[in-house]
Structure 1
Amino acid sequence: MELKKVLDDLHEQGLQQIEAAKQLDTLNDIRIKFLGKKGPLSQALRGMKDLSEQERPQVGALANTVRNDLQAALDQARQHLEEQETQRKLQAEKIDVTLPGRQRHLGTKHVITQVMDDIEALFIGLGYEVVNGPEVEEDHYNFEMMNLPKDHPARDMQDTFYITKEILMRTQTSPVQARTLEKHDFSKGPLKMISPGKVYRRDTDDATHSHQFNQIEGLVIDKHITMADLKGTLELTARHVFGQERKIRLRPSYFPFTEPSVEVDVSCFACGGKGCAVCKHTGWVEVLGAGMVHPNVLTNAGVDPKIYGGFAFGLGPDRFAMLKYGINDIRDFYLDDVRFLEQFQGE
């Protein structure tokens, strides 16, 4: 039977070529050559119409066997070649995991941020709210609400950068307190807040001054607040930052927004109060200013000073960091010198 012999030859040739194929492209060519619509297998099957009824089933079964065998051989060969290609790529892209890794340099919070976070955590634990506000501020809130009218001489101590006659870079975080006090509903309880952030003044840059620095101001307003409450709060703050054995003293001072006003000194943490270069041989180091809120400040915010009173204080985290870590030049904080900053890795 001539057609049967043709199918047997196609079967043998196809298997041989598939076995000899070394590339996936070659396998695809063999598939088209033997199993394509114009291939010899399809042409051979077209000749089945000339066979007798007894021969057709036999040849049809043989043709299916040839097709199935070739397709199975193609699939097996393709899988084998693909696995070889994968292994080749794995070998070419092999990574030696035994090599030591590259250690990444991990940063830490800036030393001033660490000091500010520490102070904020203290006051949050005391029930205070942390309130932030704009650094570009209105003259009304920066000065006038804080008992500093436009002709007040104390403004000279807080000369700042003006954008317009009424818009400026804030000289203190007090305007945040003024805005909060103006909105506070005392029927819901007392006001206890701190306002941290950057402030700006036209100071000459030297070892102890900068045109930009940080400030944290505190404000407590309620009924029956006394100077004793203020002293206890400041003593707790000093001991938290500088050590539990620290003492504080209050000296009379002047601030337009408090009356009476005080400067706060802490017993020297370098010599324990005996006298040294840090405390200029006085045994005390000045750390912040404070006082009882001036009645005019309360009145400006719409609060009745005959019913409510309170205290306010302002401290500089930059100064606290300088004193705590013995840093002599405030400009070191802002030079981005890693050799300086990496000394303060935090806890």
Structure 2
Amino acid sequence: MVLDTVTLRVAFGVVALTLFPLFYLVTYRRTRSAYSGWWCTAIALFIAGCFAYLLNGTVHQVWANPLANVLTVLGAGSVCAGARSLRAAASGARRSGALRRGTWQLVAGPAVVVAIASALDNPATNHWSGGPYFLAMMSLLIGLSSVEVWRLQPDDTRVQRPMAMAAGTVAVYYLGRCVTFIIDGPQGPVFRTVFGSAQTTLLTMMLLVVVSFSMAALSNEQVTRELRASAIRDGLTGLLNRSGFLHLAAEEMRRLDKAGVPGALILADLDHFKAVNDRYGHAAGDQSLRAFAAACTATIRSTDLVGRYGGEEFVLLLPGAGTDQAEAIARQISHSLEGVQAPAGFPLPTVSYGIAPLGSGDLNAVIAAADVALYEAKAQGRNRVVLAG
């Protein structure tokens, strides 16, 4: 059977044109996730590149082939950007910003290389102008997409590993095309039989359908995880909210109790917080809460839990820490807070702390003991640390 490249490219374009509105309306409009947005962009670029390739062999190929190469590479870059966006969503703000900046460079850089190589390689007469660079960039970008998806947490999604393996297979295929192109040439028997345009178009069309549905599932799962994560976070400070902290702290205490590892719990309360709101306004109160939350996150260890317990009260669980170490952490938090200058110039409130050892493993009892110590700290004049008992 002889595969007609033109017919296959038309079929690919029709399939992509069908998938684009379906994916856009069913997935992107509902989730608004960066991942589905990048995949919509990738499909649109693949469609444009596919139809530009149809001008190959005409008087327009002098501009159509280089343009098609660039559009297709941009599409592969968008697939890679979508994979990176999944990891960016799970990273901290600073790490996420760095990933996004690197993503735009990753998308644009290969496209610029391919554009220059294609334009300088006699595109008016050479059907494969810039071919080695184009194939190398496609292999690189799709391979990076596979790596990005593989690096997600294994328990995040059921389609992660199959998607990564599919992308890896395509990356290896394009690498084989590139190596064979250089060694055998575009008219060589191995290249035309195994890596020709018709075979590649058929393979890409099949994968486009499969991966589109997999990406829809992955995008939906990503949004579900983000909603689940936001449900246990305090919107003002970014810390765990009360229910989120209590759930995770109970699990952590069961683990510590089974392993026989000590720990401590800290209740913290901002002193005279109502006076800050009354004198400087609620915006000042919000800034005070965010400043204390930032001081906590900058001080605690990666294994510790910290949450907003309610109002101006915060709670910290310190696995493996004794009361002396917990007291040192509390004092370090207050010391960090003293060095913060509020944007509006008002003085940030001091903080009182109550500390209790985890003891029996009953979370409610430990919180109650820390609460008694906190009230004792208030009674002694505030801005101090009191140990339970």
The TM tier, using the shorter chain, reads under 0.3
TM-score, normalised with respect to structure 1:
0.23
Which has the larger share of strand?
A: 1
Q: Identify which of structures 1 and 2 has the higher relative contact order when contacts are C-alpha pairs closer than 8 Å and 6+ apart.
A: 1
TM-score, normalised with respect to structure 2:
0.21
| Max Rg structure | 1
